[in-house]
Structure 1
Amino acid sequence: MDAPFTFTPTPASIPPPDVVYRLKQPPNTPVNTHPLNPLDFVLRAAQIYPDKVALIHPNVEHPVYYTFAIWAQRIQNLAYALVRAGIKPGDRVAVIAPNSADAHHGVIAARAILTPINTRLKPSEVAYILDHSGANLILVDFEYAHLVPRDVKVPVIISKDTGRSGDPYEAFLAEGRRFSQERSWGGLDAEPNENAGATLCYTSGTTGRPKGVLSTLRGSYLAAIANAFEGQINRDSTYLWILPMFHAAGWTYPWSNTFAFASQITLRTVNYTHIWQHFLNSGVTHYCGAPTVQIGIINDPQARKLPQPIAAIIAGAAPTAYLISELEKLGFKPVHVYGLTETYGPFTRSYDQPNWDNLSLTERARLMARQGQAFATAQEVRVIIPPADDEQNPVLRDVPRDGKTVGEIVTRGNIVMKEYFRDPEATRKAFHGGNFRSGDLAVMHPDGTVAVMDRSKDIIISGGENASSLAIEQELASHPHVLEVSVVARSHPKWGERPMAFVILHPQHATKWADRHHDFIKDMKEHAKARLPGFACPEWVEIVPELPKTSTGKILKTELRRIVAKL
C-alpha cells in the first residue's frame, strides 16, 4: 500500500547505500543447511522490496510509517543497542507495550529471547514475570511505565511512541547505530542453533501463576510460514493489528507478514471506530481476533458490507456458528484456527470443503465452527483417551471417529513449545505420553475433523452426564437477542451440578427486555429446551452488562465460578 501521510524518519533510521543483508555466519556451517530463524524474513523483504511500506502506525499523536529498508535499519540499530547494553545470547529482553514490531525482530537479531508482557496485568503480576524470566533489560511504552517495579535493577528503556528525535527509545536506537560503526548486518552474529530460544510468552494465568512458554527460532520460523500460507497473506495484503503482539508473540504474525511482504497497520488499542475506518478506507485484507472482539466488530454502529473481502482469522476461544454466519453476511471470510500459547498460537484450521457449497449458511457455519485439522508445518492433531498421570510410558489410544467420544487433544512436532521455562515438572506433565497434552477436551468426527467440547475444568457433570459448556454456549448464542454468553457449573442439591448462563443482551434488543428480565429468562430456557438435552439446559440465567475477560478476549470462567460459589 502507499504511504498515507508525510513522515521523515530519524537520521539513524536511514540505511546506508548498498546494504548487504547478511549476518556473520557461524563457522563450519554445512553447505546444504542453515539454521532456521524468522529474522531472515525481514532481511529478505528489505532486499527484494526495500521501498514498499512495511509498517504504518496512524491513529496516534505522532503517526509514522516505515518502508522495509528503513524498518530493517531500525531493527539492526535495536540489535546493536541491546548488545551495547550488555545483552548476551540467551538473555531475556522484556517488552511491555501494546505492539512491538521492532522488538520481535531486533531482540532475536541480538540472539536474545523476547519476553512480551501483557499490558493489562497488575503490577504484582508483571513483577512476578520479570523476576521469573530473569529479564536482563526492559523496553516499555510510556503509557505502561508504571508497571515496571521501582526497585528494578536492570536497564529500562522508555518509548514515547513518537518515532521522532528526543524520544528515549529513538535515542537508544541511535546509540546502537553509532555503536555499530557501520558494520551493518555483517557485524552481528547469526544464531547457529535453530533450537535456541526465540520468545518467552507467559500464559494468562487464569488458573494460578502464569507459566513461561519457551519457543524456538525453528518453531517460530515454521509456524510463521504456516500462518502466512493458511491465511493466504501475500505482497498485496494489508494486515491490521487488532490482536495484541504480546499474546503468544502475536501468534507469530509479526514474522508471517514480513515473510509474505505484507504491509502492517498497528493500533494501540482495540478501538472499533479506528478498526472500521481501516476496514473501509485502508485496504485491509487480514486481521486476527478472538470471538469477543469479532462480536464487537459486527455489532459496531459503523458495521456495513465491506468494500473488499477481509479474512477474519478467529482463535482464542471457540466461535459460535452464529458469529461465523454474521461475519460472512458482511463480507468477511472467517478463517477458524485453533491453538495455544504452547503451540505458537494456531496449529489447526477448519478447512472449507467442496460439498459445503450446497449447504445453507447456517449449516456451513456449524461445520466451520469446528477446530478442524492440523495445518501446514504441524503434525497431525489427535484426540486420545487421557492416560493416568502416574502411568509410565503410556501407549496413547485414539478415540473412535464417532463425533461423540470425548478425549483430550494432543499433538507433537515442529510447532510445539520447547518447554515451560524453569518448570521441569510442568513440562513433564505437559509432555506425558510423548505428545503435548492441551487439556482441551474434544471429539473426532468421521471426516477427521476435531471439535473442542471444553476445557477439562469446564465440563459440567449433571446427574452423571457430562455437559459441554461450549456446546451449551453455541446453542444459547443462536438466540437472536443474545450478544454474548458464557456458561459455568453451579452446584445443585439433586443433580450435583447444573449449568448457569451469564448473558449479555444485544444492544438492539436490550430495551425490549428492560424491567422484564424474568420474561427473557423464560424465553431463553424455552430456546434451550428445543436444542439441548435436559441435563444441559441452563437451570439459571442471569443478564449481565459485561463478562470478565482477559486482555485478549478470553472469558474468565474462574471469575464467573467465584460469583456462582457465593450464590
Structure 2
Amino acid sequence: MKFHATTASIPPQNAFYRMGFPKETNLPVNIIPLNPIVFLLRAAQIYPNKLAISHPDAAKGLVEYSFAVWAQRVQNLAYALKMSGIQPGDRVAVISPNCPLIADSHQAILAARAVITPINYRLKKAEVQYILEHSGSKLILVDHEFLTLVEGTTNIPIIVSKDTGRDNVGDPYEDFLDKGRAFSQERGWLGLELEPDENANASLCYTSGTTGRPKGVMSTCRGSYLAAVANAFETKLDKDSVYLWTLPMFHACGWTYPWATTFGFAAQVFIRSIRYPDIWHHFLNSGVTHYCAAPTVQIGIVNATEARRLDNPITAIIAGAAPTAHLIGELEKKSINVTHVYGLTETYGPFTRSYPHPYWSTVSLEERAKLFARQGHSFATADEVRVVYQIPPDHTGPVELVDVPADGKTLGEIVTRGNIVMKEYYRDPEATAKAFRGGYFASGDLAVRHLDRSVAILDRSKDLLISGGENASTLAIEQELATHPDVLEVAVVARPHPKWGERAMAFVVLHLDSAKKYEEDVIKFAESLAKHAKERLPGFARPEWVEIVQELPKTSTGKIQKNVLRERVREKDKEKARL
C-alpha cells in the first residue's frame, strides 16, 4: 500500500515555523531561552521537503515524513495535549518502542511546555505503575503492543497508537492528532508559546533501579539543547546523515539524539526492536551513517549472518561499557568506525568522548583498543570531567574535592558539573543533596587520570573487588579476558574467598565454534583461560572461578546486569554451605 500522510498532517502553504512568546516575559533582545524544539522548526524552514522520518516497520507498511509534514504532526500533538488539559510543567508519560509516536512526543511535549516521561516498556507492570504514580503523569501515550502495562491499573487518560500513520484505520493516536489540528484553529506554531524559562523541566527519565526504587532524573530545556548540540558535533551529524534507531529512545531520552538529529537535519530510520537482519538490511540499503549501541548489541551486529564489509563507512557510537580490542577489530573489518563515549542518565547520556590522536594509527590494535576504552575528555558543551579522591558515604559536614594526580594509577571518583548535568532527582531532595555534595555530581564510577589528562574508568564503586588487600577492577579483568580467542563476552564479579577475602568469578559466553569445541571438555577451556590470564593479570586479579553461560543478563539497553550475576554467586555459596 502506497503511503500518504493523513490530511491533518499536511501543512498549510506559507506555514510559519516560529513559536509565539509569552507577552508577560520581559527578556532582553539578546536572549532567547534555549529549547531543543527549535531545531525541528529550523529544519522544516530550511529543508521542508527533506526526509525526516522513515518507518518501514509500521503496522500498515512504510511510513515516511518530510520535515514539513513531521513538524505539522508534532504541532497537532502539541495542540492535542493542550486540548486535553496539559499545563506547563505537567508530566506526560510515553510507553513506546522506537517509532514515530515516541519521536513525535520528544518534540510535541516540549512544544506544549510539558515534561516528557519516557518509560521502559520492558519493566514489569508494578514498576511502570510506580513510575506513573511517582512522576504524577497526567496523560499516557502508549503503543498498542504495550497497552497491557497500563490497562486497568490507572485512572490516567490513555491515548493508544496503533503505529499506522494513516487515515481511516481506527487508530486513536491519529484521531488525537486530527483533533489537535482542529483545536488549533490554524493558529499554527505562532499559537504555541515557547517556554520562557530555559531552566524549566523538559524530561523526567527514570534510572534502572537495580539497587532499589528507580530514581527520576529531571532535566531542563537548556541542558537538553546543549547536550543535543554536543552529540551532533561530536559525531558529525549533518544533512547527509541517516541515523538508525537501535538505542531505545526511552533510555535517557535516547541520549538526546531525538534532538541531535533534528539539529543536524539528519534523517531517522526506526526499527521497533533489535533484529540483526533488519539492522543489516538498513546498513546495506538505507544509507545509514550513524547508530548508537552498547557493546553487547555491537557483538550481535558483527556476528550476524548478514554481516559483511560495507561500501560506505558507518559511525558506531558506543557506550555502556568499553569496547574490547576484538570488537573494535571486527567492527573495523565491516567498515564501522568506533566513537566511544561515556555518560549517565544524570548527564543526559554521553558527556565525554575518547578523542583519537594521529599516533593511534601507528600502534597495535590491542594498544589502540586500550586507548579507545578510556572515557577521555568532556564534550564541547560540558564542564571538565574531574577525578577526585572519593568522599566516604557516611561523611558529614563540608566537602572539599581534591583531584587525584595524573599518574594513571591513583584511584578516584568521576565528578562533573555544568551545562549537561541533571537538575535534580525528582521528589528526592536527600538523594539530590548526596549526589551534589561538594558542588559537583558524583557519578559513583571509579577512575584514574592519565598524563594526557584523559580519564579511564576502572570500575563502579560497587563492582571493585578487594583481594588480599589489593584493589582489582572487574572491568580491567574483563578487558584482558576478552582478548582470549574463544571468548565472545565476559563479565566478572567479586566472590567471597576464605583466604583472600574476595576473588574474581568470570561468566563467559563463547564464540559458537568454540562452544562446540569445549562442549565435552569445559575444564580444558578453564585451563586455557587461566593460562591466558596468568600472562596478563597479577595473581590477585585472576579469576578463581569460571562458568560458561549461554548468555549474560542484560538491561534493555544492553548493559550487563552484574547485580543479577552477584545474586547468582550468593545462591551458589548458599547451596554450597548447605551441602
Q: Distance in 1 between matches of 2:310 and 2:6?
A: 37
Match of 1:401 in 2: 406
Match of 1:40 in 2: 38
When structure 1 is superposed on structure 2, of 18-27 and 529-538 the one drifting more is: 18-27
Q: Do 1:371 and 1:450's aligned partners in 2 also have CA atoms closer than 8 Å?
A: yes
When structure 1 is superposed on structure 2, of 318-327 and 281-290 the one drifting more is: 318-327
**% identity of equivalent residues:** 66
5+ residue gaps, structure 2: 573-579
Give 3-state SS (helix, strand or coil) of 1:125's partner. Answer: helix
2:212 matches 1:216: no
Match of 1:446 in 2: 451
* Partner deviation per Cα, 1:480-539 (whole Å, 9 max, x = no partner): 111111000111111111000000111132111111111111111111111000000000
Amino acid at match of 2:172: P
The CA deviation at 1:54 is 0.1
Amino acid at match of 2:96: A
The CA deviation at 1:149 is 4.8
Q: Do 2:459 and 2:475's aligned partners in 1 also have CA atoms closer than 8 Å?
A: yes
Amino acid at match of 2:71: A
When the two structures are superposed, what TM-score results if normalisation uses the length of structure 2? 0.96
Q: Distance in 2 between matches of 1:495 and 1:260?
A: 53
Q: Distance in 1 between matches of 2:165 and 2:442?
A: 43
Q: Identify which of 411, 414, 418 aligns with 1:413.
A: 418
* Partner deviation per Cα, 1:204-245 (whole Å, 9 max, x = no partner): 111111000000000000000000000011100000000010
Q: Identify which of 49, 53, 56 aligns with 1:55.
A: 53
Calculate the aligned-residue CA RMSD, in Å: 1.0
Match of 1:162 in 2: 164
Q: Do 2:494 and 2:502's aligned partners in 1 also have CA atoms closer than 8 Å?
A: yes
Amino acid at match of 1:321: A
Match of 2:116 in 1: 114
Amino acid at match of 1:154: I
Q: Distance in 2 between matches of 1:61 and 1:81?
A: 23
Q: How does 1:299-378 map to 2 (within 5 A)?
A: 299-378=303-382
Give 3-state SS (helix, strand or coil) of 1:47's partner. Answer: helix
Match of 1:251 in 2: 255
* Partner deviation per Cα, 1:436-470 (whole Å, 9 max, x = no partner): 00000001000011110000000011111111000
Amino acid at match of 1:9: A
Q: Do 1:59 and 1:274's aligned partners in 2 also have CA atoms closer than 8 Å?
A: no
Q: Distance in 1 between matches of 2:186 and 2:231?
A: 35
* Partner deviation per Cα, 1:234-290 (whole Å, 9 max, x = no partner): 100000000010000000000000000000001100010000011111110000001
Q: How does 1:468-483 map to 2 (within 5 A)?
A: 468-483=473-488
The CA deviation at 1:317 is 2.1
Amino acid at match of 1:70: V
Match of 1:144 in 2: 146
* Partner deviation per Cα, 1:403-460 (whole Å, 9 max, x = no partner): 1111000000000000000000000000001100000000100001111000000001
Q: Do 2:129 and 2:153's aligned partners in 1 also have CA atoms closer than 8 Å?
A: no
Q: Distance in 2 between matches of 1:555 and 1:362?
A: 23
Amino acid at match of 1:91: D
Match of 1:520 in 2: 525
Number of paired residues?
Answer: 563
Match of 1:235 in 2: 239
The CA deviation at 1:6 is 4.0
2:274 matches 1:278: no
Match of 1:80 in 2: 79
Q: Distance in 2 between matches of 1:12 and 1:162?
A: 14
The CA deviation at 1:395 is 1.7
The CA deviation at 1:164 is 1.2
Q: Distance in 2 between matches of 1:359 and 1:232?
A: 25
Q: Do 1:324 and 1:369's aligned partners in 2 also have CA atoms closer than 8 Å?
A: no
2:139 matches 1:134: no
* Partner deviation per Cα, 1:69-128 (whole Å, 9 max, x = no partner): 000000000000000001000000000001210000000000000000001000011000
2:467 matches 1:467: no
Give 3-state SS (helix, strand or coil) of 2:70's partner. Answer: helix
2:14 matches 1:9: no
* Partner deviation per Cα, 1:387-410 (whole Å, 9 max, x = no partner): 234342322110111111110000
Q: Distance in 1 between matches of 2:59 and 2:179?
A: 25
Q: Do 1:127 and 1:149's aligned partners in 2 also have CA atoms closer than 8 Å?
A: no
The CA deviation at 1:41 is 0.2
Give 3-state SS (helix, strand or coil) of 1:130's partner. Answer: helix
Match of 2:576 in 1: none
Q: Distance in 2 between matches of 1:276 and 1:268?
A: 15
Amino acid at match of 2:531: E
Match of 1:200 in 2: 204
The CA deviation at 1:7 is 1.6
Amino acid at match of 1:274: D
2:434 matches 1:436: no
When the two structures are superposed, what TM-score results if normalisation uses the length of structure 1? 0.98
Amino acid at match of 1:97: S
Q: Distance in 2 between matches of 1:533 and 1:71?
A: 57
The CA deviation at 1:26 is 2.4
Q: Distance in 1 between matches of 2:89 and 2:565?
A: 39
2:92 matches 1:93: yes
